[in-house]
Amino acid sequence: MPELPDITIYIEALEKRILGHKLERIQLNSPFLVRTASPPIGSLEGKTVFELRRLGKRICARFEDELWLVLHLMIAGRLHWKAETRPLGGVPRLSKNQLAIFRFDNGALSLTEAGTQRRASLHLFKGEAGLRSLDPGGAEVADLDLARFTAILHSENHTLKRALSDPHLFSGIGNAYSDEILWQAKLSPVKLTRKLDDAEVARLHAATRATLMQWVERLREATRDKFPEKVTAFRAGMAVHGRYKEPCPRCGSKVQRIRYAANETNYCPTCQTGGKLLADRALSRLLREDWPKTAEELG
């Protein structure tokens, strides 16, 4: 699922391409994509984009007449851009994995979703009240000082993995970047939030901010003027996420994992858990019980 750094780069790329441009036509290829009935999705045609905004892991676009289009890519949804300098005639057939095409006066934005589970969603609202109905309320880490970060972290007694990924607590962090944050902070993914001492909380606060900002800059540098086509949870340069049995870049120990349901947590046993291996049935069950039951709950 694209997280804060990925969504930030998507929005920056879209601002360069569709901000101030008119949406001429929408072509849908999935009856499950649009989750709202009023206003009708066709009411966006002929409207100009005035603003783009991130809401957690969602991409929000404000059109004329205060119409807000809200896109959640979920796990397998991705965006693609193709510049077009001339009007398209007819209605071209969409491929099976293309859920929608938004044809602007300067190009086409395509939404695809791999696999057969149609989880990506579009909402259309009139005014910002609709946006608030989708906001899980998680705080933006970049805006949090240590005191506020501590208060939010201690408000629930979860594992650190769950707390960082909870969209009701913190905005835009998911499975991949929580692994990277905890590695940076040298903290166990299964340590409980209320068991942290002051030094550990301070370390986690600094690591959360630094990791997210560093990855925004890395992705920004990697894409530059290109549209971010290769959005993935497993990126070269990640320290532990998706690197099971590969050497930890800090100490050289083999990265380990805890598998639970359809999720996986990666960690360094030397840097984060004092040499202890966590991948046993009891800890897998602990994480599974402390984790949302559906992908939708991950926000």
Low-confidence stretches of the chain (pLDDT < 70) are 85-91, 261-262, 279-299
Residue 151's contacts (CB-CB under 8 Å, 6 or more residues apart) are none
Note the CATH architecture for domain 141-298: Orthogonal Bundle (1.10)
Q: How much is the pLDDT for 295?
A: 45
Q: What secondary structure does DSSP assign to the chain, as a single string?
A: ---HHHHHHHHHHHHHHTTT-EEEEEEE--TTSB---SS-GGGGTTEEEEEEEEETTEEEEEEGGGEEEEEE-TTTEEEEEEE-SSPPPS-PPPPTTEEEEEEETTEEEEEEE-SS----EEEEEESTHHHHHH---PBPGGG--HHHHHHHHHTS--BHHHHHH-TTTBSS--HHHHHHHHHHHT--TTSBGGG--HHHHHHHHHHHHHHHHHHHHHHHHHHTTS------SS-TT-SSTT-TTSBPTTT-PBPEEEEETTEEEEE-HHHHSTT----SHHHHHHHHHTS-SSGGGG-
- The alpha carbon of 212 is separated from its chain's Cα centroid by a whole number of angstroms, namely 11
Q: How much is the pLDDT for 91?
A: 64
- Does residue 212 contact residue 173 with C-beta atoms inside 8 Å? yes
4-134: CATH topology: N-terminal domain of MutM-like DNA repair proteins (3.20.190)
Q: How much is the pLDDT for 227?
A: 96
Question: What's the pTM value of the predicted model, to 2 decimals?
Answer: 0.91
Residue ranges covered by each domain of the chain: 4-134, 141-298
